Amino acid sequence: MRKKGLTIRLMERGKMLILKGKNVLITGAASGIGKALAECFAREGSNLFLGSHPREEDQLCRWADYLEHQYHIKTKKFPVDLSLASGPELLYRQVEQTGKTIDILVNNAGIMLYGDFANLPLDGQLEVITVNAIAYLKLMRLFLPGLIEKKSGRILNVVSASAFQPTPHHAVYGATKAFVQSLSEAVGQEIKSSGIKICTLNPSYTDTPMLRGKGFPKKLWWYSISGLSSPENIARKGVKAFKKGKPIYIPGIQNWFAASVLTRVFPRRLASYVPSLVLREKGN
């Protein structure tokens, strides 16, 4: 047992994290980026603990069966609603009851409401905060002590390129992403000496059901600059960066330039004015 722990630690000190045999918990794994991430981890030989909204349980079961047969890995399924105050604790307890410990937590489940702040329903905006920010925070807080105790493991928070500047027309969504980004970087520093890393994956707009939700425009001006990535492409690049231990990974050079360079050189006023132009529907 001690020997296995030592081997895992030594592998983590090497250049690339070895994912084979690791227990990976992924939230929102029945759709979009989470579903694609699950396949990337399965391809690497990780055993998967797959979370989904209860309404997606059938989809989750079908996806888990496919991954088990295709990649000869083990999966467990956790259909838990993370918008409920007790959701993250329930997920944590259900994982604990399996008797297995998690090596990697992937916080991914998220929702978006598109529209102007003053017009969107308040309860919907609070739900965005609960799923995108509070659930991430709670799951980090619940799983981190176990990782620190065994001095091994990583957290991957799927955030967004929206984390680095205000996002008019989906203001609350961007604010939740900025919160998780700040939290990830700060906690990452606090636990540096434990050997645990917290990484963020910060995609720009990606072609998933999230962008097909009610109210989301068919085309944004920003797509002319950044295009629209596929979830499979984002997941493949994201897992590669995660294995290398990159603390922040923004796929796409133009997205990296906008999020990492322009937001620093632009005066703060411009950093919210430009998004107000490019994050609206093309044609308006």
Ligand X SMILES: NC(=O)c1ccc[n+]([C@@H]2O[C@H](COP(=O)([O-])OP(=O)(O)OC[C@H]3O[C@@H](n4cnc5c(N)ncnc54)[C@H](OP(=O)(O)O)[C@@H]3O)[C@@H](O)[C@H]2O)c1
Q: Which residues are catalytic?
A: 173
- Radius of gyration for the chain, computed over Cα atoms and rounded to the nearest angstrom: 18
CA atoms of 6 and 24, how far apart (whole Å): 19
How many binding residues for ligand X (CB under 6 A)?
A: 28
CA atoms of 169 and 176, how far apart (whole Å): 14
Residue 83 binds ligand X (CB under 6 A)? yes
Shortest distance in whole angstroms from residue 7 CB to ligand X: 32
| Site map (CB under 6 A) of ligand X, residues 38-77, x = contact | --------------xx-xx---------------------
Please identify which residue in the block is written with the tokens 């425009």: 217
Query: Closer to ligand X at the Cβ: 12 or 205?
Result: 205
Token duo for residue 141: 């807080």
| Site map (CB under 6 A) of ligand X, residues 150-189, x = contact | --------x-x-----------------------------
* Count of CB atoms situated within 10 Å of the CB of 257: 13
Given candidates 17, 25, 26, 28, which one binds ligand X under the rule CB under 6 A?
28
φ, ψ of residue 210 to 5 degrees: the values are: -60, -40
Given candidates 23, 46, 47, 108, which one binds ligand X under the rule CB under 6 A?
108
Please identify which residue in the block is written with the tokens 């055993």: 47
Residue 134 binds ligand X (CB under 6 A)? no
Residue list 203-262, contact with ligand X (CB under 6 A): 203, 205-206, 208-211, 231
Q: How many residues does the chain have?
A: 284
Residue 32 binds ligand X (CB under 6 A)? yes
Given candidates 8, 82, 105, 134, which one binds ligand X under the rule CB under 6 A?
82
Query: Closer to ligand X at the Cβ: 179 or 205?
Result: 205
Exposure of 106 in the CB half-sphere (CA atoms within 13 A): 32
Characterize 217-239 residue by residue with b for buried, 16 or more Cβ atoms within 10 angstroms of its Cβ, and e for exposed: beebbbbeebeebebbebbbbbb
Token duo for residue 201: 């994956």
Q: Which residue is nearest to ligand X (CB)?
A: 32
Shortest distance in whole angstroms from residue 193 CB to ligand X: 29
* Count of CB atoms situated within 10 Å of the CB of 46: 26
> Taking a C-beta distance cutoff of 8 angstroms, is the pair 114, 164 a contact?
no
Given candidates 104, 131, 155, 198, which one binds ligand X under the rule CB under 6 A?
131
Residues in contact with ligand X by CB under 6 A are: 28, 30-34, 52-53, 55-56, 81-83, 108-111, 131, 158, 160, 203, 205-206, 208-211, 231
